Chains A and B, each alone.
Chain A
């Protein structure tokens, strides 16, 4: 069983829709949770990070962490065609802060 599970999609939504992306994890040692966006043939770029449980908002993006359920989410409001990319969740354990454990990634397509 993988430490981090993520639905690979693809997920197709119309422009302007609210997108919900999710990951589950099995190890309660994970403390920092991140969402990366990866365009085709590019390296991942950090969108948001959160520490422990709670919500964090940045523009059209909201990240949620529920440690009791070992479940994290990324919401994208008013989705745009430029949001079409693969979204990767990632997390780090206490004491091994720099080693990122990634999910499989969810491919998102926002259509006009």
Chain B
């Protein structure tokens, strides 16, 4: 059965800290891995990773994929209170099926 596992499930840090969120997967016919941020209602897209070892960056956020070890990490440097959210990892596999992990709830203390 395909699965996506995120860790930790919950994380509390102080503003300015750097955090690393993890996502491991077992998915048939892997196509892509995606990261989303969910603050209130609808998740918003952060990154899509298809190739191993190529870092994607957007401001203070970055992500990388390891297709050999079947995991990805999402880094956030110099965290701000606005980074508080649930971060979701999703994987697209066979027949374009996209499944999500349970998410990491990140809380940034001022």
Do A and B assemble together?
no
Residues of B near any A CB (own CB < 8 A):
none
Residues of A near any B CB (own CB < 8 A):
none
